[in-house]
Structures are given as structure tokens and as C-alpha cells.
Amino acid sequence: DAGITQSPRYKITETGRQVTLMCHQTWSHSYMFWYRQDLGHGLRLIYYSAAADITDKGEVPDGYVVSRSKTENFPLTLESATRSQTSVYFCASSESWGAQHFGDGTRLSIL
Amino acid sequence: GESVGLHLPTLSVQEGDNSIINCAYSNSASDYFIWYKQESGKGPQFIIDIRSNMDKRQGQRVTVLLNKTVKHLSLQIAATQPGDSAVYFCARPKDSNYQLIWGAGTKLIIKP
């Protein structure tokens, strides 16, 4: 089915480890986004991408790395995970200016 | 500065009644607003949007009203059902870089 898929749905890791969250969309949307959602902070933008090989920082980019070699994929990597990065991560995509469509999230716990 | 905020963190409504969720904005340049619904354990789901050249837009059981004079918009849900239980967010694009500015969210609770 067409849509946006995030994997894994749940992940537990330890501080200092590298972890990559995957995001795949089948709409061929140009724009893709990574958010984290925490109680008391709502949705905060980490990184976004306007097209393949074009990425830019959002509100809270520190500690995260993204790449976009293909239009349909937008992985998010935590190079050295910290406890403060425990959160629910959402990937989204949009065709252009306007409504974004979200995946069901990855719940990440860092011990 | 730019902001999008909701008036109440929680709204309790009797099943079958209508629900009204409010949102205020501060930037007069805002010309497009989006409502999202987020159910527990899921990502935000697009419900309906509205542009500034409209005062009202209707969808299936939902209506969004935009009052540009007082910079306020609302989401009305008719005949609220248990499946409407969720957190509702209003959002608007930030300038031209396709980021969204999000409100804090209103949790809708349906009383049986």
C-alpha cells in the first residue's frame, strides 16, 4: 500500500551507541521531515529535506544526522545516542507547501 | 513572533454532542491552516485544511472556521464518537521553507 513507513517501531539502545531510524515513502513526495515528540514540547522539527541530496536543519538538529540519497528514503541517525534523545520520532512527507503526511513513529528508549 | 496555540489542553464531550476545538494565531501573514488528529500510538493524521480566502470549510463531520479579524480558527466535530478520542493539533506552514508551526494540542475525551 502507498504511504509512509517507519522502522523499527520500537528500539531500545544504550548511551553512546549509533542508531538509525528508517523512513520510506511511496508517494514520491519531494519534501520529507523528521520530528521528535516529547511531553511538554509537542512536535519539534529535527531535519527536513526538499529533495534528494538537499537537507537542512530544523529546530533541534544537534546530535542527529540525515541523508537523502533517494527521494523515497530519509534515514535519521543518532551518531552517539544520549538519554535526552529518548523520544518518539516521526517522519513525514509532503508534495509541496502544505499538509504533511506522517508515519506511525518510532519509540526510541536510550538507557 | 510566530506562534500557533490552542486554548485548552483537554476537552471532555459527551458522546453524540458536538465538539469545538479552538486555535489562535499571532502572525497576520498566516494564510493556510491545517488540523491534525493524533490517536494514541499513531502519527498525526491530516483532517482538514483552510486557506485565508475562506471563512469556512466542511468535511465529513468536521467543519473548520477561520476568523481572520480576531486571528482565531476552530475545528467543529459533529456528533462526537468514541473514535474521535485523540489529540488535535492546529498547524500552519512557516514562511516558504515548508516547516510547520504546531500548536500544543488539545486532548479530546469522549464521555459515554
> Over pLDDT 70: what percentage of chain B?
86
Candidates A102, A77, A83, A74; CA nearest to A18 is A77
Q: Do B45 and A102 touch (CB under 8 A)?
A: yes
A44-86 pLDDT, tens digit per residue, is 999 999 999 999 999 899 999 999 999 999 999 999 999 999 9
The grid cell for B32 is 493556510
| Residue B15 three-state SS | coil
Question: What gap in Å lies between CA A35 and CA A58, rounded to an integer?
Answer: 9
Q: Determine the CATH number of domain A4-110.
A: 2.60.40.10
> A10 and chain B: CB distance < 8 Å anywhere?
no
Q: Which amino acid is at B20?
A: I
| Residue B75 three-state SS | strand
Tell me the CATH number of domain B4-111, given options 2.60.120.10, 2.60.40.10, 2.60.210.10, 2.40.128.20: 2.60.40.10
Question: What gap in Å lies between CA B102 and CA B90, rounded to an integer?
Answer: 6
Domain spans, chain B: 4-111
Q: Kindly tell me if the per-residue pLDDT of B11 is higher than 70.
A: yes
B88-99 pLDDT, tens digit per residue, is 999 988 776 567
The grid cell for B23 is 486555535
> Over pLDDT 90: what percentage of chain A?
85
| Residue A37 three-state SS | strand
Indicate the burial class of B12 (C-beta count within 10 angstroms; 0-12, 13-18, 19 or more).
exposed
8 Å CB contact between A71 and A51: yes
* Half-sphere exposure for B107 (CA within 13 Å, toward CB): 7
8 Å CB contact between B49 and A98: yes
Closest Cβ opposite residue A100 in set B100, B103, B104: B100
Find cell 498525526 and name the residue: B44
The grid cell for A1 is 500500500
* Distance between B79 CA and the closest CA of chain A, angstroms: 26
CB contacts of A97 in chain B (<8 Å) are: 32, 93, 96, 98
Question: What gap in Å lies between CA B72 and CA A111, rounded to an integer?
Answer: 42
Question: What gap in Å lies between CA B90 and CA A42, rounded to an integer?
Answer: 12
pLDDT band at B112 (very low <50, low <70, confident <90, very high): confident
Domain spans, chain A: 4-110
Surface of A (25-84) touching B: CB under 8 A: 31, 33, 42-43, 45, 48, 50, 56, 58
| Residue B109 three-state SS | strand
8 Å CB contact between B8 and B104: no
A87 beta partners: A108
